[in-house]
Amino acid sequence: MAFNSADWTIDYIAQTVTNNDSGTGANLPHDASGTHQGELLKFFQWLAAEAASPAQMDNPYPIVSDTPTVYKWINGWGFGHVDDYKYLKGGDISSSDGADYWHSVYTIGSPTTGTQIYITQNDGELTPWWSTDNIDVLIHVKQSGSYVSSDNVSGVSTEGGVWLWTREYGDAFNHGFVNLYSGRTPIGIDTAEDSANQTDPAVVAAYGVSIGSFGTISRDLNNGNGAVNYDVEIDCNGKTMDEVYEYLKWACSYDYGITINGDDGKEYRSCDEGSYTDVKTAPFGTIAGGTLYGAKGVWFTNYVSANFSLTDASGTTQEPPNLQKVNCNHTNLSGCNVLVAESLAGAVIKDQYTIDSVTSDSITSSVTVDANKTPLFGNIKVGDVRYAYTSFSGNDFFGVTPDPTGATGDFYVSLLDVLADSSIELSADLVQSGDITVMTSVRKYGLKPYDVETTFGSSGLTFTPILAEDPQAS
């Protein structure tokens, strides 16, 4: 912009210089070409020329220059309005008494076209007065004698510090901390389109994924490492990891961010900010080939399939076991009894375990439960009585119903034991680490029995039984 009396007013009595738009909101945010934002150097040159004119020789000189980017008001001169600095760029300026500093930050890099870079100072967003894409702005870093502080990447309060962010939904995110205490500073901000994050945000917002409370939680991935600590649980609401990834991006985006851990989602960086390394492009974790690589401390539950890799709170990578299911399907399956259980020579092994003790809602085996042959939840058969369980660990089955009090003897755990009520019946997940010989049985009065021995393997077991009518059973 050109500096002249059409845009700025010099008041020689009040010793102020005021942009004629300040306080009106006019020409803010700036347009892409910066029509109404000018270089401090040009601002200085205009004021210096005005002060050196014959008419102003008897007035105090207003401004001095230390370098092409560092300036200072002198002799009691200053801005006439709190918004005046927003119309300047390209340098630093301080008040006559040194109580106020306006230092500049400028971005270098290649953000995607139309990216809104936003700035936070002391954990609060500065309402943008700048345009989209790369920016060059002055920040009021010292106010009334005190520097405004922000926590840096290590969580240390830093005088003059600010954060710059780019979190456009559909793009890879970026952010960075810059300390403006010493003056004008650049920061690199690059972004690119995120091909895994292109679903309509209104659709993603309705996925029903939820982010739990933050704090130490103990979880067992059933991968042989036992229970370990994480910092937050994400309830995936039965969604795929691709869908969960997009929801978490949406939750942290600039336009759609929600409250996360008591703060704006658009400022969320990690489970333990200041201690954990930020995953800048996607704060809860990145995705590749359908596998979500969770950020440190993030635990997932209630998902379609375990297409993820976790990092626990200690920084140890936790890979999920090979979780597989039994899938029994047939257009006429509804109404059939379906049983899939470990077998030997065509007969179900009914004495996998022996009951050691019971409570009103648990059964304890005399030996450790084989996690590689036991669904995460399912059914136990003691004699002719079927009991459901909700979980197991060590020798114990928990959440057993009905009340197993009085149950004794041998029992087995089925992979699938259900009265079908649809054309597809699925078992719970099972940790697959070796092939299991199983008997698959599907029976219904009026149909010939289907009893076939087969293998539950590395890809689980999917089978379609032959359901032929039995003309003698009608």
**What does the pLDDT look like over 211-244, one tens digit per residue?**
999 999 999 998 888 899 999 999 999 999 999 9
Given a contact cutoff of 8 angstroms between Cβ atoms, the answer to whether 164 and 108 are in contact is no
Express each pLDDT in 348-363 by its tens digit: 999 999 999 999 999 9
Selection from 53, 54, 51 nearest residue 63 by Cα = 51
Query: Does residue 375 have a cis peptide bond before it, meaning omega lies within 30 degrees of 0?
Result: no
d(CA 317, CA 285): 13
Given a contact cutoff of 8 angstroms between Cβ atoms, the answer to whether 212 and 232 are in contact is yes
Say yes or no to pLDDT of 276 above 80: yes
How much is the CA Rg of the chain, to the nearest whole Å?
34
d(CA 248, CA 71): 44
Place of tokens 């029976």: 443
SS3 86: helix
Express each pLDDT in 126-148 by its tens digit: 999 999 999 999 999 999 999 99
Planar angle of CA 204, 208, 209, nearest 5 degrees:
90
**Averaged pLDDT for residues 434-459:** 97
Selection from 73, 85, 112, 89 nearest residue 34 by Cα = 89
Given a contact cutoff of 8 angstroms between Cβ atoms, the answer to whether 380 and 358 are in contact is no
Say yes or no to pLDDT of 33 above 90: no
Say yes or no to pLDDT of 325 above 80: yes
Dihedral of the alpha carbons of 19, 20, 21, 22, in degrees to the nearest 10: 50
Say yes or no to pLDDT of 1 above 80: no
Selection from 436, 443, 397 nearest residue 420 by Cα = 443
Per-residue confidence (pLDDT) for residue 348, from 0 to 100: 98
Per-residue confidence (pLDDT) for residue 55, from 0 to 100: 95
Average per-residue pLDDT in the chain?
A: 96
d(CA 327, CA 425): 6
Query: Does residue 465 have a cis peptide bond before it, meaning omega lies within 30 degrees of 0?
Result: no
**DSSP 8-state class, residue 85:** G
Per-residue confidence (pLDDT) for residue 391, from 0 to 100: 93
247 φ/ψ sector (left φ>0, alpha ψ -120 to 50, else beta): alpha
**Averaged pLDDT for residues 268-278:** 97
Per-residue confidence (pLDDT) for residue 5, from 0 to 100: 85
51 φ/ψ sector (left φ>0, alpha ψ -120 to 50, else beta): alpha
pTM for this entry: 0.79
